[in-house]
Structure 1
């Protein structure tokens, strides 16, 4: 283990993490295997998907109607020489002076120059008359007009959604390369923690970090392997960490990383040698740790224990790292304008303020800060749907100022509402 005596910036800490975390190896999925669709939904493509066929694969009819040569419609009435249903594999020819009754998606006979919809005819089965003007080249889908062999259909990094399955299934490829979901173990430490719903004794609290991190891991597309509570015992923490590192691709711990006498996560990692504990110039979330453990170099993120510090630390550091590991896009920060009262900021530290964000009719992202910003404050978290980053050089945020904003979840079209204090700075970590 190493210690960094001076504060580092949040950008420096994130850069260290992204430089160290591995990209998980891609997994080949054979499309002939049953159940592949459910296995790949939500995963990132590790390689481009290119079409192995032309789409359409043959020239076909876009309508139910009649296939003919357009110039023959001037004769007034044509003999219907046969039917062509969808799926017909015959190679047919449309000779001058005749028509074929054809269904949508069926291959058009060679020589056909137009398809007349059945609605523009008398619907004849043996002979057909047309009721409107017949135009050349209408209602025919040409081979390859949508996609040509070799065209890129989906780019690497695309998160596979249900609509992409149709694209993949039609492409004529026999396999795709997908990035695996990182397997994550969450460990919350502290003798004071009790599961939700359990009766509390004096000095005890319910564990909110474990369930929250479990939900966050799922929200960013990773796979939750285990959520465990560990007592304030360095030996037990070391044993649980050893087990977690053997089975997971990443481990997240909360609590036990400050400078207190019972900071057991630090104590458990003193001999490991690969973990660095930093003081990061940010509020909340100052105490941070990160390292690679075990033979596989499994990333371990040691986050502070206050709930808001844990939430902010996950989005600022862990989420981008898990995205890198799985080939997914990192969380996107946007620009937003402060529309509520301004507030003062902690000196020398970037502030991640909990805010309520809405999208205006003009597309502008507007934000208003929660009244209380302490790392222990949870009461107003239900009103916050975003984080706003205030640069560490700032001393005051003014109404109308532009900030970087990360929208966490939910709609952003509700009105700004609630009671807000003009001064929401809090020096808690």
Structure 2
């Protein structure tokens, strides 16, 4: 792999850096498996260098476009607002003709509602009653709020200064005709959906929706709906992953629980790669776990097992299913390569969520076509001592809030074991303690990643 200098973890370039083409990953990376641990930032860089931006797009109805990514710039054909209009209920006047600090009296000569217009030109000393959204009449330049006026007969009076342009929305001040209202690579949230609707859009071109296949591994993992045998656990991670993927707008293929068998694993991986844009498993990626998973992955792709300098979630497998010379059987996903990215996440429930957020999410954002994405990071004040370990990033589960002094503060949820799923349920953020720190003292600043995406 070509060496590159990776930016600080909280910089915009930390998520989608410009990378050069790298050598294919393999199951055995001596630099990693020999004992050294990869930094989180370098791991993200390696992952993103293996992925391509999307090529295929489709046209969808605006009502169905939420959580999709725009495939082309959206150029406005109209001004928004279309006409200069009132931002308040009140009276339209010519403020430029006013004398400073004098009580002013105006003759009310008409009325205009939203959707209508005033037919003439208003002279100095005249006013037109106007409703919010109505076009500002010719000859006027400002709006006096109704609450600031008194009306006796057809005479309107007010006192106090008035600025030219007060409470007036100028034509095209939001979006001007011919300008790009939204750029390609923009995720369509409800607010973008509303903006597109304001342009009169009925359909938009978006990148193709991703399909992700998910399965769990381990003979100790059992499905819900049956008695729990001794020394076994109910399958948790598959449901967590499906929920995370659905929130990102992905289609999900649920492959269930795969037994500890190399042939079954190879068959499952090959089938999943033919149906999906990405395949994600949980469990079976620790260095001491069954070799059949590593051998199965090696047989159907180019997979690297890494140890990441982080907690929770140190073991991670990533690579590509398929080959350079062949094609993935049955693949009709529209990707520009025969290979399908694969993530093997740890088995512990909290570690699955943390590694998904730190590694899988940025990979999916790139594959979705979402440009300039980065995880939200904010600085908060620690309310108590937060423990960590040198030379790794610690992702503690935290609760952030605004205290009585107006400060953004954060505290941990308590016990931080990677199997304590309630620590994620109680949390509203991850507390990110960097490699150089063994702990953060109460009153010191610390980075947090609020849950939200």
Question: Equivalents in 2 of 1:337, 1:65: separation in Å?
Answer: 46
Match of 2:361 among 316, 319, 323: 319
Question: Equivalents in 1 of 2:383, 2:145: separation in Å?
Answer: 57
Task: Write out aligned runs for 1:90-239 (5 A).
Answer: 92-94=119-121, 105=133, 129-132=154-157, 143-172=171-200, 176-239=204-267
- The count of residues paired between Structure 1 and Structure 2 equals 393
- Checking the alignment, whether the CA contact within 8 Å between 2:76 and 2:181 is kept in structure 1 is yes
Question: Equivalents in 2 of 1:113, 1:19: separation in Å?
Answer: 55
Does residue 375 of structure 1 match 2:405?
no
C-alpha RMSD of matched pairs (Å): 4.0
Match of 1:351 in 2: 394
- Checking the alignment, whether the CA contact within 8 Å between 1:27 and 1:177 is kept in structure 2 is yes
- Checking the alignment, whether the CA contact within 8 Å between 1:256 and 1:304 is kept in structure 2 is yes
Match of 1:300 in 2: 342
- Checking the alignment, whether the CA contact within 8 Å between 1:8 and 1:278 is kept in structure 2 is yes
Question: Using a 3 Å threshold, how does the CA distance of structure 1 residues 151 and 403 change in structure 2: closer, same or farther?
Answer: same
Q: Which runs of 5+ in 1 are unaligned?
A: 31-35, 124-128, 411-429
Question: Using a 3 Å threshold, how does the CA distance of structure 1 residues 113 and 357 change in structure 2: closer, same or farther?
Answer: closer
Match of 2:52 in 1: 22
Question: Equivalents in 2 of 1:381, 1:141: separation in Å?
Answer: 45
Post-superposition shift, 1:278? 1.7
- Checking the alignment, whether the CA contact within 8 Å between 2:85 and 2:136 is kept in structure 1 is yes
Question: Equivalents in 1 of 2:195, 2:419: separation in Å?
Answer: 47
With structure 2 as the length reference, what TM-score do the two structures score?
0.71
With structure 1 as the length reference, what TM-score do the two structures score?
0.74
Post-superposition shift, 1:40? 0.9
Match of 2:377 in 1: 333
SS of the residue aligned with 2:285?
coil
Match of 2:304 in 1: 276
- Bigger CA drift: 308-317 or 199-208? 308-317
Question: Equivalents in 2 of 1:52, 1:186: separation in Å?
Answer: 43
What per-residue deviation string (whole Å, max 9, x for no partner) do you get for residues 121-153 of structure 1? Answer: 678xxxxx3343799988876543543213443
Match of 2:430 in 1: 387
